[in-house]
Structure 1
Amino acid sequence: MCTGFVFMACSLDGFVARPDHSLDWLMPFNSAHEDHGYDDFISRMDGIVLGRATFEKVLGFGDWPYRLPVMVMSGNLTIDSIPPELRDRVQIGRQSPAGTMATLAEKGWRQVYVDGGRLVRSFLRDGLISEITLTIAPLLIGSGLPLFGHDGDDIILELLDSRTFKSGLVQHHYRLDNASRKED
């Protein structure tokens, strides 16, 4: 069985990016020289599943930041969309979230980092996320791409830990009990 994990940041008003997908609002907090736990988190993962928009944003960073294998979920990307130097590390997936996790489990993946606002919501909706680490930045950006939205049933989370940082960031670590989802 393959299990999904989320490690994301959002503004206090719940946005993961500006309307143009910009992350400029988050950059001042990345330079605070604080250990937010990402290296420990990623060391436990077998691979990464990214949404298409997140993949395209990461490509714009310059150096490819991932050492783990990556699957990009997209109905319209082709192999030509992937830079040649990444084709041995990045593949394109076109299955449902459940189908993707079954395929990855067949490849030996057990713990998967799921990243991208819409992708996270679809994996949550299908009960495929077991833990969320959410870091909240102390600013309001007013509009943008929301991390969460109403996608149906309530999802109950158990708070495992909260941490605060000198930069003002607040990080919450939750476990999801997918069996306890509230049915309408």
Structure 2
Amino acid sequence: MSIRLSVFIATSLDGFIARKNGELDWLDAANAIVPEGEDCGYRAFMESIDRLIMGRKTYEKVLSFDEWSYGNKPVIVLSRNKIEIPDRLAETVSHSSESPRDLRDRLSKEGAERLYIDGGITIQRFLNEGLIDDLTITIIPILLGSGIPLFSNLKKDISLNHIATKTYDFGFIQLTYEVVNNAKKH
């Protein structure tokens, strides 16, 4: 079985994943209207992955939250620089400065079947390498006007095949796409 690399992320309607300063207050406000017990498929997605790969900025943001939401799921933080890993996370968090392709190849050889790619720059790097297989994007009904975009600095057009659209009564829309002509299929 070949390894799959997946994105599961929320954006504002105008395509931003955070404010310019990295704040997610708008997402916290949106989540406050989500009915208790609804997670928009996140739990099932997390159960389907072997490891999570995120960039340093995303890691540092997640560390600032009250709790670590990934449990014992292995997390690899991509950064050219050394990162601090708290003792409480030393068993599950590791650091890598490998290229996206080298990391994917190593994890595939280690038996990983599905990776969760998270963080704007990290997602863009993996997309530019042709390594992402599918994207699940939950659109939150808010316009931010500016911020950190999910998609920027892409080297070329990336064609997508629509897999599913799910609408939620509380206003979220979830789009799932498969990447067409994925370069990793070689």
Task: Report the TM range for the smaller structure's normalisation.
Answer: over 0.9
Greater shift after overlay, 26-35 or 124-133?
26-35
Equivalence map 1:21-170=2 (5 Å): 21-31=22-32, 32-33=34-35, 34-67=38-71, 68-78=73-83, 81-170=84-173
Contact 1:50 1:70 (C-alpha < 8 Å) held by counterparts: yes
The TM-score with structure 1 as length reference comes to 0.92
Cα gap change, 1:66/1:179 in structure 2, threshold over 3 Å: closer, same or farther? closer
Secondary structure of the structure 1 residue equivalent to 2:112: coil
Secondary structure of the structure 1 residue equivalent to 2:27: helix
Aligned-residue offset at 1:149: 1.3
Aligned-residue offset at 1:179: 4.0
Secondary structure of the structure 2 residue equivalent to 1:118: helix
Q: What is the CA–CA distance in structure 2 between the aligned matches of 1:69 and 1:36, rounded to whole Å?
A: 22
Q: What is the CA–CA distance in structure 2 between the aligned matches of 1:15 and 1:133, rounded to whole Å?
A: 15
Q: What is the CA–CA distance in structure 2 between the aligned matches of 1:24 and 1:77, rounded to whole Å?
A: 28
Q: What is the CA–CA distance in structure 2 between the aligned matches of 1:118 and 1:28, rounded to whole Å?
A: 24
Amino acid at match of 1:76: N
Contact 1:135 1:169 (C-alpha < 8 Å) held by counterparts: yes
Query: Per-residue CA shift, 1:65-113, capped at 9, x if unaligned?
Result: 11210000001123xx110111110000101000111111122211000
Contact 1:7 1:132 (C-alpha < 8 Å) held by counterparts: yes
Q: What is the CA–CA distance in structure 2 between the aligned matches of 1:71 and 1:44, rounded to whole Å?
A: 17
Contact 2:133 2:182 (C-alpha < 8 Å) held by counterparts: no
**Percent identity among equivalent residues?**
40
Q: What is the CA–CA distance in structure 2 between the aligned matches of 1:104 and 1:63, rounded to whole Å?
A: 27
Which position in structure 1 is the counterpart of 2:6? 5
> Between Structure 1 and Structure 2, how many residues are aligned?
178
